[in-house]
């Protein structure tokens, strides 16, 4: 399966399939200008689980940098280490960087590619479900101790190669986290697709064929939005549904304390409560989705671990704050997102309402 991504700055394809690494890379090298070096950035966990398959199926010589796993990958220190590695390897603007891993590896690699010698080409080779979202669209970043993804750039890859083979080693938690972004894409685009997802008996037990179809649908939603708004001036903000409150609770937990997708689901429920006030979302639907999240093991109890005062400190540093006002992505109805300014005092009210709802549903 091939999905075109057409942005103002760059056009490329997302290639999805099973055991396609060799053929997809060979095809890519025929299309791109000749690279003087190929560098692979990955992390410790991915390399241990998938390094042999990657090395055996990658058809060209490469050098590899194995980085720390998780959000530690996106630290200032690792950003510097990654640049040092490229310099030591005598990389030039003709070198090609491969991001082989999940969202953290992709975010870090993309930002390194954007900044090394003012920009070198890179390719995303995602190994997680979550990365079907982060690998597409050119958002790259590292973290600051005071906030997630605060330092970065919009920088599009040359291609995204999505070999479903890599998903076979994912833990249940990683599958659950990744499916959160699939659900988000359905929430902002298609009620019928969302209802289908909500009737899956177990979100962590889906066949590869069905998963590939869901991933394709999610990438198509993102590609359409990114084509219209590459640098998040308007409709691309819709992709942040669930992320404002979600990022705050993820930051409060300490990066790695909650998986990104777990935090996003927590944030989507918060956004649905707000959508009851400003849209036509019903309390019945909010409860249905909350029950679905609880039944599928999303750690909703994390909300009770942090008082609103703790979350508030992270909310006000969110990238979506404009002129001192919080911008939330909400839903008129399923599939119809919009952006709404919310006062901090109302955020506190909704936080209280959320905690009461959790006590009611998650008994």
Q: CB neighbours (10 Å) of residue 248?
A: 29
Catalytic site residue 363?
Answer: no
250: its two tokens: 């993820």
Nearest Cα to Cα of residue 297 among 363, 167, 202, 215: 202
Catalytic site residue 247?
Answer: yes
Catalytic residue among 78, 149, 240, 296: 240
Catalytic residue among 45, 71, 74, 139: 139
Report the half-sphere exposure of 230 (CA within 13 A, side-chain side).
14
Owner of token pair 């109805």: 333
Q: How far apart are CA 84 and CA 106, in angstroms?
A: 18
Catalytic residue among 30, 34, 90, 118: 118
110: its two tokens: 């993309």
189: its two tokens: 């685009």
Q: Give bridge partners of residue 64 from the DSSP assignment.
A: 40
Q: Are 56 and 19 contacting, i.e. CB atoms less than 8 angstroms apart?
A: no
Catalytic site residue 222?
Answer: yes
93: its two tokens: 């603007």
Catalytic residue among 13, 158, 174, 181: 181
Catalytic residue among 149, 185, 243, 296: 243
Running DSSP on this structure, what letter comes out for residue 258? Answer: B
Catalytic residue among 222, 250, 276, 296: 222
Nearest Cα to Cα of residue 178 among 242, 266, 261: 261
Catalytic site residue 139?
Answer: yes
Catalytic site residue 173?
Answer: no
SS3 label, residue 304: helix
Q: Give bridge partners of residue 15 from the DSSP assignment.
A: 2, 161
Catalytic site residue 243?
Answer: yes
Catalytic residue among 230, 232, 250, 276: 232
SS3 label, residue 31: helix
Catalytic site residue 260?
Answer: yes
Note the residue count of the chain.
363
Catalytic residue among 165, 184, 236, 237: 236
Catalytic residue among 143, 247, 250, 262: 247
Contacts (Cβ under 8 Å, ≥6 apart) of 193: 186, 217
Catalytic site residue 240?
Answer: yes
Q: Are 182 and 239 contacting, i.e. CB atoms less than 8 angstroms apart?
A: no
The H or E element that residue 215 is part of is helix 208-228
Taken in order 285, 286, 287, 289, the sign of the CA dihedral is positive
Phi first, then psi: give them for residue 81, nearest 5 degrees: -60, -40
Catalytic residue among 78, 220, 260, 262: 260
Catalytic residues: 118, 139, 181, 222, 232, 236, 240, 243, 247, 260
């Amino acid at each position: 399966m091939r999905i075109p991504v057409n942005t103002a700055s760059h056009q490329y394809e997302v290639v999805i399939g099973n055991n396609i690494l060799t053929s997809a890379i060979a095809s890519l090298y025929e299309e791109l200008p000749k690279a003087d070096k190929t560098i692979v950035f990955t992390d410790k966990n991915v390399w241990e689980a998938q390094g042999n398959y990657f090395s055996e199926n990658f058809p060209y010589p490469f050098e590899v940098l194995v980085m720390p796993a998780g959000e530690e990958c996106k630290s200032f220190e690792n950003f510097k280490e990654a640049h040092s590695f490229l310099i030591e390897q005598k990389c030039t603007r003709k070198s090609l960087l491969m991001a082989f891993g999940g969202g953290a590896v992709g975010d870090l690699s993309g930002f390194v590619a954007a900044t090394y010698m003012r920009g070198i080409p890179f390719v995303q080779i995602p190994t997680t479900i979550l990365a079907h979202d982060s690998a597409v669209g050119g958002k790259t970043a590292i973290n600051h101790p005071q906030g997630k993804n605060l330092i970065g750039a919009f920088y599009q890859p040359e291609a995204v190669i999505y070999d479903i083979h890599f998903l076979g080693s994912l833990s249940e938690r990683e599958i659950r986290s990744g499916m959160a972004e699939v659900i988000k894409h359905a929430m902002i685009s298609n009620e019928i697709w969302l209802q289908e997802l909500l009737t899956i008996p177990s979100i962590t037990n889906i066949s590869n064929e069905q998963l590939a179809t869901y991933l394709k649908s999610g990438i198509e939603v993102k590609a359409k939005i990114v084509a219209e708004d590459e640098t998040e001036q308007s409709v691309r903000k819709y992709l942040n549904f669930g992320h404002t409150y979600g990022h705050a609770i993820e930051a409060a937990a300490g990066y790695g304390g909650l998986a990104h997708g777990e935090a996003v689901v927590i944030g989507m429920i918060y956004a649905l409560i707000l959508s009851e006030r400003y849209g036509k979302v019903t309390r019945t639907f909010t409860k249905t989705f909350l029950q679905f999240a609880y039944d599928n093991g999303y750690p909703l109890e994390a909300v009770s671990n942090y008082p609103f005062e703790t979350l508030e400190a992270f909310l006000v540093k969110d990238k979506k704050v404009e002129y001192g006002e919080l911008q939330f992505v909400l839903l008129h109805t399923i599939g119809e997102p919009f952006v709404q300014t919310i006062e901090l005092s109302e955020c506190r009210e909704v936080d209280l309402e959320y905690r009461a709802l959790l006590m009611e549903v998650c008994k």
